[in-house]
Amino acid sequence: MIEFDNVHFAYGSRHVLRGVSFSVEVDERLAILGGSGDGKTTILKLILGLLKPDSGRIFVDGADITQKTEGELREERVKFSIVFQEGALFDSLSVKENIAFCLREYAQMSEQEIDHKVRELLGRVGLEGAMSLMPEELSGGMHRRVAIMRSMAAFEPKMLLYDEPTTGLDPVNADVICRLILDLSENGKGFIIVTHKIFDAIKVAQRFMFLKNGTIVFNGDKEALLRSPIPEIQIYRTECIVA
């Protein structure tokens, strides 16, 4: 479904991705690991067409999205659900209105239908009773759950994208989010999770890529990851041993 072909990208003079090539099928569960500034989130933005590569090509369902207009990219973006780091809820809107906003913007639904859909989505994550709360009243874990369900409100995505979904959460709430990610991937729906927390990645993913200095230095399954001699991966792996 997604293919990167020799993709290069830089923010000004700072090179972030250097000749990155990989592919992901729609039903895969992929974790992209690496340090800060190594291009993990940049890859998600490139998939959505929010950024364009300096060179190389990106394909979604066989179509080269680097050549598409903004209008054409809209049709590609609805294939994905994305939750960026920290969730980015609207501070001035209640939990209900945060989710209803997407439905009013993109779905042809009556207010009664919107109310029913919001309750259904929040009920899936145990937060129907939080509809009237404001984002500032939510715990970190609740905030992430609302953000995930908001991202899925108006569309039925083919694939889910998560940017550091457990960062800043305590172990209990991080585990709740990991279980939610797995629940939402049932029935063959794949996802890409970007994270620096290898312990959480191992809970949910089947394949792992590790970025270093803008290149992919590892691409394999859990067993290969845990055996990898790459020093940076060994350092990250300490998290699993300690946990």
Q: What percent of the chain has pLDDT over 90?
A: 66
- Quick check: 76 and 68 in contact, CB under 8 A? yes
Average pLDDT of the residues in 172-193 = 92
What CATH number does the domain containing 179 carry? 3.40.50.300
Which has more pLDDT, 106 or 95? 95
User: In the listed set 156, 184, 199, which residue is the last one of a domain according to the structure?
Assistant: 156
Band (pLDDT 50/70/90 cuts) for residue 178 is very high
Tokens 């994208």 identify what position? 161
- Res 86: pLDDT: 65
Who contacts 158 (Cβ-Cβ below 8 Å, separation ≥6)? 1, 26, 79, 80, 189
Residues 69 and 50 in one domain: yes
User: 95 pLDDT exceeds 90?
Assistant: yes
Residues 176 and 123 in one domain: no
- Name the pTM for this structure: 0.90
User: 93 pLDDT exceeds 80?
Assistant: yes
- Res 188: pLDDT: 82
User: 242 pLDDT exceeds 50?
Assistant: no
Residues 128-143 pLDDT 10s: 999 999 999 999 899 9
Residues 149 and 173 in one domain: no
- Quick check: 60 and 37 in contact, CB under 8 A? no
Structural domain span for residue 189: 2-79+158-242
Residues 34-56 pLDDT 10s: 888 889 999 999 999 999 999 99
Is 223 contained in some domain? yes
